[in-house]
Structure 1
């Protein structure tokens, strides 16, 4: 007996997979796995890995759109190869992708190229925005996650790097970075 498994993914914690999950249920998925992870890499995507490990010959992995599965051609090819090696198929509810057919396979490959292209464009726009903000003097960068004053205070009390890291629940490298003079303080 073959099964259809659904995979839903959102890129960030403030996004929701509910609409994808509903579409996958309506398409007949018996099991749906969801996660909130970036699609730019396969690393850390435990729910997808579970599905790929579990899927068997004749089964189908279903997504709503190919960009929910991966954002790079290399990752899409790796997933498609894994499915093909197992004798399983890939389908999308919102796109004419069905790797059990030649036309569906070609469309899948074209969509992969466009997903990677879209990611590249988004990255370029982001870098342009950062450059513009820097030129205008309004770019602040990421907010510090380590309280440098607390690190310095504990160092002044005679604590070493490892002990400071344990007390503050941070990595030792973060302690040493916080103790380094910053570019801003040397500019003044």
Structure 2
């Protein structure tokens, strides 16, 4: 009688652990798929805002409720390499015209007032001519303009809304830089 009670207790405990493990797996899947994701900065294209090997959490939920805004730092997949994500800053919004003239960005014919980075762009790329963004298109640039593959490069081009994974939210590594990402 005592052994049978012991077996039921062990099976009940095992079932409880399996149920808990299933809950954790389902909860983790929902969080990673719909709410947030970790990504790592690879390269120098976002310096002096983000640095090589910084680890970030990406907010995947905000854009389900609102439109992306100018100057937000976004994450999107690179179309020519699987499991590769780019991290860039939104510069041009849907319906606007974008052009780079003498190293400066112009939006709808007006020079953009930017508060990060000090260097002039040496290569305007496809933005040397006026680009008209569609109703769901964004023009993105790296903060380190002369060392960034971004919307000026035809291999990246303009980014469609549906391709935005989310916005950079929190830097989690290195620990001495831990904190919310500033979107200026």
Higher RCO (C-alpha under 8 Å, 6+ residues apart): 2
TM-score of the two chains, using structure 2 as the length reference:
0.24
More helix by share: 1
Question: Normalising to structure 1: TM-score of the pair?
Answer: 0.24
Q: Which of the pair is proportionally richer in strand? A: 2
